Structure 1
Amino acid sequence: MTASTLEGAYAANRANAELAARMAAGHGDRHRAAADRALATPSRRLLAFDGRGSGRATEVFGDLAHADRVAVLVPGSDTSLDTYERFRTAAAALHSGLTRPARGGTGTGARGGTDTGTGTGSGSGTAVVAWLGYTTPATVSITAITPDRAAEAASDLREFVRGLRGVTGPDSRITLLCHSYGSVVCGRAADGLDVDDLVLLGSPGTGADSAAELRTRARVWAARGGEDWVAEVPHTDVDLFGTTVGFGTDPVSRAFGARVFSAGDGGHSDYFRPGSVCLANLVRIVLGETSEVTHG
């Protein structure tokens, strides 16, 4: 895929979503039909769509062809086409935070330069991608506490980022924002993944004992809200009959070695809440305003 083929891809995937909506309606699944139909509306920019099973979709917010900073959201458990609107709301909130006028503030750019952070100048060259590119586990399931689903998704995420580089060019800066079980996916994919920042939000662990074990050139960030139930999850991994259960060291612990930043007092679903401390910090990370990030 290239920048010149984006509009054709968006149109083709909207058509696929419309066809899926008609098929779902024909089978009496009105909820899925409504979800698919919403994705098929002319304003949606779909890089990918698959209506089979729980479904997959990749949606773009902003002008990806001309973006010099791209944020990719990787969702956690219980995210499907049936619950996609919740995931989309998070991506839209981040895009709004990146592009709102008169942001103010200055910071150190990710390349060591300075980002002004003023007006749309710092955010107009940004795009956000909501990547529902894998079959997420159910929160209450054995799958949610084992790395199997993440291992399956890792190669797809690497391939997606490689394709993204073909659209945006090698000089764009890509930030990967990984929520909950999505951070397990990102941990599995990290080695060789061509991104500049890797952000772990409400993470149960990555399967690695430290940020260094992720073998990534990216800066690794981590945050957890004060009311996030993930804090109560045991941060260990054990082998049970040949299956690994758990995801190892807590990413916000000193032992892990990530750059820990403040996520405020929010819960597990509040990391992208408009007006929140966490969303403000995510905007700063994506824009390279690292000196402005408040630490946890």
Structure 2
Amino acid sequence: MGRSRVGRLRGGLLSKGRLRRTLIAVFVAASVAVPVSGAARPAAVPAPAPAALAPLSVAGLSGSGLDTRYAANRADILAAEKMAEDHGDWRRGRALDAMADRDRHFLSFDGRDGGRTAEVFGDLAHAEKIAVLVPGSDTNLDQYGRLRSGAEALAAQLGPKTAVIGWMGYATPGTVSTEVLTPGRADDATPELASFIRELKAAKPRARTSLLCHSYGSVVCAKAASGVDVADIVLYGSPGTGFDTAAALHTSATVWAGRGADDWIADVPHSSLDLGFVTIGFGTDPVSRHFGARSFDAGPGGHSDYLLPGSVPLKNIARIVGGQTPLVNGQTPQEARHA
């Protein structure tokens, strides 16, 4: 065997060993941090069970049907606000008071266990294109502003006859926790997301629907992909999906992937390690050629910058939702070829 080949093999073995040690070290570090970060968990704030609502496909998404649904969820938000204040959590109370504003529209709300919501931005009753945002770690009722601001920016970029739904339909993992390194929370979220998309498609069968999946949310979307009927699945700021390739998602949707140049997620080991009792990591980097997704320009930004107003990724994600080809350096691929 040639010396160069031996060197490559040895380098590969060392690389795998380093990767294994890195993943275990991160897992152990997160385990140590969990008791500290868990002291003020959002799930600790009590809330009443929400009123039962008819499925979206039954209630319909007409103007009057939506108004009735929005009013019912507003009542649930106000009830949760009172319970939070009685519990002495004024921060949660203020957040819920803002959510209860009559200009805000929730398809669903459950204040328990950190919160579950689906908020509408835009005109859902007449929408021809719908984007469903699936957030990543540390998204809850106390940290909801990031999801909302991104959804608002996207809705403004998309314009009329479109709607954006911020879907916070699962208990997201904490950024400093062992759960953010494993697929457990995504496993729990998958049936909830699949059910929501099926109901939405049944109520709006002609609307072009896209799943937009940030960070850990891309793990959720990937697991739900084979059970939902959407035009696009857009992965951004993704640590991996738990699948080796886009083809392994078994979806008819076009799978897109983008990552900002300054996103720290690029430094996360893109591999997985089966410890027997748990799997750490999410495998192949979605922006790599091996994964096989269609790439889009995500600009120079960081992990929380994808939906900033005026940003490169916001414009490109909006183009994907609209069924258009993303821009490359501000130009369409046709313009770039003729430049």
Q: Same fold (TM over 0.5)?
A: yes
CA RMSD in angstroms, aligned pairs only = 1.2
**Deviations 1:60-94, CA, capped at 9 Å, x for gaps:** 01111211100000000000000011110000000
Q: 2:311 aligns with which of 269, 272, 276?
A: 276
Runs of 4+, deviation exceeding 6 Å = none
Normalising by structure 2, report the TM-score: 0.78
Q: Is the 8 A contact 1:66 1:125 kept in 2?
A: yes
Q: Is the 8 A contact 1:238 1:245 kept in 2?
A: yes
| Matched ranges for 1:185-264 at <5 A | 185-264=220-299
Unaligned runs of 5+ in 2: 1-55, 331-339
The Cα of 1:238 is off from its aligned counterpart by 1.2
1:3 aligns with 2:61: yes
Normalising by structure 1, report the TM-score: 0.89
Separation in 1, partners of 2:111, 2:96 = 8
The alpha-carbon distance between structure 1 residues 151 and 295, as it changes in their structure 2 partners (threshold 3 A), is farther
Separation in 2, partners of 1:257, 1:266 = 23
- What amino acid maps onto 1:25 in structure 2? E
1:13 aligns with 2:48: no
Aligned length: 270
| Matched ranges for 1:1-296 at <5 A | 1=56, 2-4=60-62, 5-99=65-159, 124-168=160-204, 170-290=205-325, 292-294=326-328
Q: Matched residues, percent identical?
A: 57
Give SS of 1:46's match.
Answer: strand
- What amino acid maps onto 2:187 in structure 1? A
- What amino acid maps onto 1:3 in structure 2? L
**Deviations 1:98-146, CA, capped at 9 Å, x for gaps:** 11xxxxxxxxxxxxxxxxxxxxxxxx11100000000000011110010
> Which one has the largest radius of gyration?
2
- Greater share of residues in helix: 2
Pick which of 202-211 and 240-249 moved more: 240-249
Separation in 2, partners of 1:192, 1:83 = 29
The Cα of 1:202 is off from its aligned counterpart by 0.3
Give SS of 1:163's match.
Answer: helix
The Cα of 1:295 is off from its aligned counterpart by 7.6
**Deviations 1:127-175, CA, capped at 9 Å, x for gaps:** 000000000000111100100110110000000001111321x221101
Separation in 2, partners of 1:146, 1:197 = 25
Unaligned runs of 5+ in 1: 100-123
Q: Is the 8 A contact 1:197 1:219 kept in 2?
A: yes
